[in-house]
Structure 1
Amino acid sequence: MKTRELTYERLKEKIHYDPETGKFTRTWPDHNRKVGRLDKDGYLAIAIDRVKHRAGRLAWLYMTGEHPDESMHVDHINRIRDDNRWKNLRLLTPEDNRAHRVVTRKPPASGVTGVYWDGRKNKWVVQIFRNRKVHYGGYHSTIDAAAVAADELRTTLDQQAAA
């Protein structure tokens, strides 16, 4: 059975999804047993009828009754790849999903999208990824100033894209 052949009805026969916790369990015979394993990229993969499916896409099918369009990505808003709570999932185009991705993983993490610590300069740097390019928003002494600059840069880039 291929991915698109998995029906909503068959999915509900095989597994139960809790949208509050994002956990998947078997429906029968051991109905409380969790299912799935993390794949090489850190996403939860679940085999149904010997075909592996990413849990985010299964959650989308379970909640909406329809497969997400193949051209769309199921994005984890908080960037935690195995957090499949319904409120943490959204559909994005591949380009928007790349823009949401962290450009670099330099510690310490700021917690602000597009803001990173530059240890050489001891300042916060703003970097926004759009249209396959990194756009720089400068260096800032405080995280708050960098967050404001990141928001302004995103707004400018969005306005340029809309024009």
Structure 2
Amino acid sequence: MIDSDNWSPWSADGKELIDVPPAGKIEDYSEFARETMARYPKVMAHLAGREAANDNCPPVTARGQIISQERLRYLLDYNPDSGVFTWRNPTSRRVKAGRIAGNIDSMGYVQMSLDNRDYRGHRLAWLYVHGYYPENEVDHVNMVRSDNRIENLREATREQNARNRIAYKSSTTGFKGVIRSRDKFSARITVNRKPIHLGQFDTAEEANAAYEAAANRYFGDFARAS
């Protein structure tokens, strides 16, 4: 039989003996649970303390919904100068506050799971700072996918994001938009899904210069020649 006067929800090694859902309300327990818990005043006090401690906790994100800025800022801290997220209020007992959140996925992006949904770090950084989840893509200016400093991020359409890429490894010239044509080098650029021929040149460098000038004219800040 449990001694209700000396009962503690903590074991000798500091581990919690009962598992109370953080968002749960005492009133929501079944009649049997309420009657049972009422026998042990310290249990009830512990539950009330857990509930009071979570009064300022934003609700868990509903299934199918995007996490809110409020909920995100409650769970995580974000350093805009380093681009790193750390746990502020961990959702797992195995994670301590201050620990770096997320990991690098197979594509090179920072990824993390919040409220049973996977997110990429650059999109969360945008939400954390600007207050809204981006409808379009978020481009890494320096093309380093794990560099989530806020100054390295910008909203972009899929087409704009695709422009900020270097030449493919399969390129025989090493320059974006430049192909070898017999003893000449041809430069071309695609704008609004339409290819534009920029001319033929004696060297790959000359063709690349033509492509770079066209990219700056058509693509502005998203232009990248090679």
| TM-score (normalised: structure 2) | 0.54
What residue number does 2:71 align with?
Answer: 10
Cα distance 1:115–1:61, how it changes in 2: closer, same or farther (>3 A)? same
Match of 2:89 among 28, 38, 55: 28
Structure ranking higher in strand proportion: 1
Which residue is 1:104 aligned to? 168
The equivalent of 1:153 in structure 2 is 214
Aligned position for 2:103: 37
Alignment-derived partner of residue 154 in structure 2:
90
Residue of 120, 132, 140 corresponding to 1:66 = 132
Unaligned runs of 5+ residues in structure 2 are 1-61, 91-95, 220-226
Task: Tell me the amino acid that sits aligned with residue 68 of structure 1.
Answer: P
Identify if the C-alpha distance between structure 1 residues 80 and 127 changes in structure 2 by more than 3 Å, giving closer, same or farther.
Answer: farther
Q: 1:20 to 1:147 in 2, by over 3 A?
A: farther
Determine helix, strand or coil for the equivalent of 1:105: coil
Comparing 82-91 with 129-138, greater Cα deviation is found at 129-138
State the distance in 1 between where 2:127 and 2:74 align: 13
Distance, in Å, in 1 between the alignment partners of 2:141 and 2:64 is: 24
Contact residue 178 and residue 208 of structure 2 kept, 8 A: no
Does the Cα contact within 8 Å between 1:103 and 1:127 map onto a contact in 2? Answer: no
Amino acid at match of 1:93: T
Separation (CA, whole Å) in 2 of partners of 1:126 and 1:45: 38
Instruction: Kindly name which structure, 1 or 2, has the bigger radius of gyration based on alpha carbons.
Output: 2
1:4·1:67 contact (CA, 8 Å) conserved in 2? Answer: no
**Cα deviation digits, residues 101-120 of structure 1 (max 9, x gap):** 3341369xx8x9x47898xx
What residue identity is the alignment partner of 2:169?
A: R
Candidates 46, 54, 58, aligned match of 2:120: 54
- How many Å apart are 1:140 and its aligned residue? 6.9
Structure 1 residue ranges without an equivalent (≥5): 159-163
TM-score (norm 1): 0.71
Question: % of aligned pairs identical?
Answer: 31
Summarize the Cα distance change of 1:68–1:11 in structure 2 as closer, same or farther, 3 Å threshold: same
Partners of 1:3 and 1:139 lie apart in 2 by: 54
- TM-superposed deviation, 1:40: 2.7
SS of residue matched to 1:5: coil
Residue by residue, what CA displacement relative to the aligned partner does 1:17-62 show, whole Å, maximum 9, x if unpaired? 1010010110035222111122232211111112110111100000
- Secondary structure of the structure 1 residue equivalent to 2:128: helix
1:151 and 1:17 map into 2 onto residues whose CA distance is: 36
